[in-house]
């Protein structure tokens, strides 16, 4: 895989050439991706970029053969046709087509939460204690090992689908049943009670953190995409605490081999310790989404954000 390097800022939209904005796809997060993609497309066009919508990976591969796109803005979310898991990145590497964001390794590793956590653990980066379980495993024994309260989630999904907080053993079977509706292993980890924070990364710039304060129990699918009453405080922390959190987020991002842009989800416990949850390599870009909010606080409006993400598609030798 070619090394990616930061290039000088692009000033003329023609330098990007014809851009395919790939969205939608066949993952559980299709609708969110379509919403993100429409916003990105509109913003790039408003900045004079020759941008075109393409729905999903098969249509993109067809279009690359016939339509001669110069690069791809990947705003697919999730795995299995979601384009956030390294599959699309591998296909584009093979075709020598530049694309935004992380490469094969960073995408695949970030999608697999248990394996990402093992990398962090090996580097001494804090992540909640966990067990990864194949289907049919003894979930009650695993829960005893992790301890209550815990959280159950699919190992490789996003958008909080299939995520349940479990405070006592009687709630466990139902939580496992819900997570098992999604493909892959289950992840069971210690529930961190405290504050939810997320940190956006754009190039080598770490954006101000956001402290997410959902009205309900946690930042579930409803709080993410539907409810209008979730509070977003940005920056989420002050002084040294904010500096430390941003440094941790960048270290976590780099540890997984991520590149270009992304978002790191963190829980902060009541003692003020940060715990890494996951990295999103193609984070949401809807009107409710977090990276656009953090960028705005950093003085980067939505159009400029899309432009700068598109700049991450430039690589050495291209
Ligand atoms: N260990 C945990 N402790 C407390 N809350 C958690 C934990 N893991 C996940 N959550 C909650 O569930 C949400 C979704 O979990 P996350 O790991 O970010 O998966 P995804 O966003 O990919 O669905 C988080 O935003 C957070 O609100
Ligand atoms: Mg998350």
DSSP of 63-108: HHHHH--SEEEE---SSSSSSSSSHHHHHHHHHT--BSS--HHHHH
Alpha-carbon distances, residue 115 vs 120, 199, 277 (angstroms): 9, 20, 12
pLDDT digits 0-9 by tens, 24-45? 998 878 899 999 999 999 999 9
- Which ligand lies nearest to the CA atom of residue 194 in the structure? 1
Q: Is residue 1 situated within a structural domain?
A: no
pLDDT at 220 over 80: no
DSSP state of 137: S
Q: Is residue 309 situated within a structural domain?
A: no
C-alpha of residue 160 to centroid of ligand 2, in Å: 6
In this structure, are 60 and 170 located in the same domain?
no
In this structure, are 204 and 232 located in the same domain?
yes
In this structure, are 83 and 222 located in the same domain?
no
C-alpha of residue 136 to centroid of ligand 2, in Å: 25
End-to-end CA, the chain: 13
Among the residue ranges 16-30, 39-53, 240-254, the one predicted with the least confidence is 16-30
- Indicate whether residue 219 lines ligand 1 (CB < 6 A): yes
What's 174's domain CATH number?
Answer: 3.30.1490.20
216, 223 contact by CB (below 8 A): yes
Percentage of residues in the chain with pLDDT exceeding 90? 74
- Indicate whether residue 158 lines ligand 1 (CB < 6 A): yes
In this structure, are 143 and 232 located in the same domain?
no
Q: Is residue 313 situated within a structural domain?
A: no
* Structural domain boundaries enclosing 21: 13-101
In this structure, are 197 and 258 located in the same domain?
yes
Average pLDDT over residues 303-314: 96
- Indicate whether residue 164 lines ligand 1 (CB < 6 A): no
Q: Is residue 240 situated within a structural domain?
A: yes
What's 36's domain CATH number?
Answer: 3.40.50.20
Q: Is 17 helix (H, G, I), strand (E, B) or coil?
A: coil
What's 237's domain CATH number?
Answer: 3.30.470.20
Last-in-domain residue among 172, 190, 208: 190
d(Cα 315, Cα 100) in Å, to the nearest integer? 10
pLDDT at 2 over 50: no
Query: What φ, ψ does residue 202 adopt, rounded to 5°?
Result: -135, 110
Most informative mutation of 109, 151, 159 for ligand 1 (most atoms within 8 A of CB): 151
Q: Is residue 4 situated within a structural domain?
A: no
In this structure, are 183 and 203 located in the same domain?
no
C-alpha of residue 152 to centroid of ligand 1, in Å: 9
- Which ligand lies nearest to the CA atom of residue 154 in the structure? 1
In this structure, are 114 and 252 located in the same domain?
yes
In this structure, are 237 and 170 located in the same domain?
no
Q: Is residue 304 situated within a structural domain?
A: no
In this structure, are 214 and 288 located in the same domain?
yes
Token digits for 24? Answer: 């939608």
In this structure, are 97 and 161 located in the same domain?
no
Whole-structure pTM value = 0.93
Q: How many domains does the chain have?
A: 3
- Indicate whether residue 195 lines ligand 1 (CB < 6 A): no
In this structure, are 49 and 97 located in the same domain?
yes
């Amino acid at each position: 895989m070619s090394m990616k390097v930061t290039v000088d800022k692009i000033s003329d939209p023609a330098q990007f050439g014809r851009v395919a904005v790939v969205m939608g796809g066949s993952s559980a997060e299709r609708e969110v991706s379509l919403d993100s993609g429409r916003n990105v497309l509109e913003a790039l066009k408003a900045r004079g970029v020759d941008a075109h919508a393409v729905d999903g990976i098969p249509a993109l591969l067809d279009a690359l053969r016939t339509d001669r796109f110069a690069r791809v803005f990947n705003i697919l979310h999730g795995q299995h046709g979601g384009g956030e898991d390294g599959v699309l990145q591998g296909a584009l590497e093979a075709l020598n087509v530049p694309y935004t964001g992380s490469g094969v390794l960073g995408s695949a590793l970030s999608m697999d939460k248990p394996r990402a956590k093992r990398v962090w653990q090996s580097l001494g980066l804090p992540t909640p204690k966990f067990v990864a379980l194949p289907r049919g495993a003894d979930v009650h024994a695993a829960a005893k090992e992790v301890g209550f309260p815990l959280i159950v989630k699919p190992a490789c999904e996003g958008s909080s689908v299939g995520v349940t907080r479990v405070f006592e053993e009687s709630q466990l079977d139902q939580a496992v049943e819900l997570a098992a509706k999604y493909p892959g292993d289950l992840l069971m980890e210690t529930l961190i009670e405290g504050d939810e924070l997320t940190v956006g990364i754009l190039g080598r710039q770490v954006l101000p953190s956001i402290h997410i304060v959902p009205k309900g129990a946690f930042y579930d699918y409803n709080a993410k995409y539907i409810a209008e009453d979730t509070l977003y405080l940005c920056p989420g922390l002050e002084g040294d605490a904010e500096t430390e959190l941003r440094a941790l987020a960048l270290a976590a991002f780099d540890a997984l081999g991520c590149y270009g842009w992304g978002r790191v989800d963190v829980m902060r416990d009541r003692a003020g310790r940060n715990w890494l949850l996951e990295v999103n390599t193609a984070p949401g870009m809807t009107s409710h989404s977090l990276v656009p909010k953090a960028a705005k606080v950093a003085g980067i409006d939505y159009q400029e954000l899309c432009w700068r993400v598109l700049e991450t598609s430039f690589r050495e030798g291209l």
